[in-house]
């Protein structure tokens, strides 16, 4: 059949072999158009649809080609999720294995992706390449700048489906949802209490366990309340100075001292 349209309606006619090709490439359609403009407008109706679904992860696509690419050989054997490349699949597998091969040379924090380590390294170097055009404040990541910009715009894209509250950050919505669900995902490692937010957990630890010092130095036996304080203390034994001044060659054991005025 041939489909021909004018300004008012679309009509069907028997397809004639000598007509100029104008076939819709979507396999669920196969409609034929005489004019390129009509064919282009018709394709836009498919672009808004997602007719093809993956049998492994139920993700949907608007073309059969996209589905074929998605359902290629790069498939996770743990959860069935599909990926466009082997490198993407390799990164995803680390979410199952817990592997974090990229380590910060300054603070030893580990990451699953090299790009995440690169962003983290800006905290030590003081690099802040993203500037707010409203208040001229600088940020280490584009994501942090986006979140900050909502202070000026008033945008609150994260809405609670239980009540009418909205938030400018996804984690704020996550914390808010515990009001409705009653969940307390933050568990104290020193006792059996749980809390709805990490800040409440930290307050609890400060007041209830402030006298406990579970971290001991392997060099002198001195004990500390947190692993961070222990790590900073160990520098006095090893002589390590991991923080360097960005303006001169001086090095320091503390990040704050590295921000001295040359």
Q: pLDDT digit string (tens) for 148-199?
A: 999 999 999 889 888 889 998 888 888 888 888 888 878 887 788 888 777 7
Q: Which residue has the higher pLDDT, 257 or 161?
A: 161
What confidence tens digit (pLDDT) does each residue in 69-105 have? 665 667 788 777 777 778 888 888 888 888 889 998 8
Residue that finishes a domain, picked among 38, 70, 97: 97
Residue 257 is predicted with a pLDDT of: 55
Predicted confidence at residue 241, as pLDDT, reads: 76
Task: Single out the residue of 218, 243, 241 nearest to residue 230, CA to CA.
Answer: 218
How far apart are alpha carbons 250 and 242 in whole angstroms? 11
Domains of the chain: total: 4
Q: How far is CA 207 from the centre of its chain?
A: 34
Q: Are residues 207 and 220 in the same domain?
A: no
CB contact at 8 A, 42 and 53: no
Residue 226 domain flag: yes
Does some domain include residue 150?
A: no
d(CA 16, CA 12): 12
Residue 171 to residue 174: CA distance in whole angstroms: 5
- Phi then psi dihedrals of residue 168, to 5 deg: -95, -5
Question: Is there a single domain that holds both residue 40 and residue 10?
Answer: yes
Q: Are 210 and 228 in contact (CB under 8 A)?
A: no
Residue 36 structural domain: 2-47
Which pLDDT score, from 0 to 100, does residue 3 have?
Answer: 42
Residue 213: in which H helix or E strand, if any? Answer: none
The helix (run of H) or strand (run of E) holding residue 189 is: none
Note the pLDDT of residue 50.
66
Please indicate, yes or no, if residue 225 is contained in any of the structural domains. yes
Measured distance CA(218)–CA(84) in Å, rounded: 47
Residue with tokens 């836009």: 44
Residue 11: pLDDT band (50, 70, 90) is very low
């Amino acid at each position: 059949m041939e489909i021909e349209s004018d300004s008012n309606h679309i009509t069907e006619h028997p397809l004639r072999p000598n007509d100029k090709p104008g076939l819709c490439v979507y396999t669920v359609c196969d409609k034929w158009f005489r004019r390129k403009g009509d064919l282009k407008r018709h394709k836009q109706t498919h672009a808004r649809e997602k007719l093809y679904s993956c049998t492994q992860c139920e993700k949907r696509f608007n073309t059969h080609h996209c589905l074929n690419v998605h359902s290629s050989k790069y498939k996770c054997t743990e959860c069935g999720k599909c990926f466009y490349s082997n490198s993407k699949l390799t990164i995803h597998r680390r979410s199952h294995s817990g592997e974090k091969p990229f380590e910060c040379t300054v603070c030893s924090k580990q990451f699953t992706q090299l790009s995440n380590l690169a962003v983290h390294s800006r905290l030590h170097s003081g690099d802040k390449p993203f500037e707010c055009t409203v208040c001229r404040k600088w940020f280490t990541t584009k994501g942090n700048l986006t979140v900050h910009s909502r202070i000026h715009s008033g945008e609150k894209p994260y809405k609670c489906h239980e009540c009418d509250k909205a938030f400018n950050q996804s984690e704020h919505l996550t914390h808010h949802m515990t009001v409705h669900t009653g969940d307390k995902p933050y568990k104290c490692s020193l006792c059996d209490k749980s809390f709805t937010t990490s800040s409440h957990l930290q307050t609890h630890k400060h007041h209830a366990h402030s006298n406990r010092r579970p971290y001991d130095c392997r060099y002198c036996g001195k004990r500390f309340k947190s692993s961070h304080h222990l790590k900073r203390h160990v520098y006095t034994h090893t002589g390590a100075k991991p923080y360097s001044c960005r303006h001169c060659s001086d090095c320091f054991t503390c990040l704050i001292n590295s921000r001295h005025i040359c």
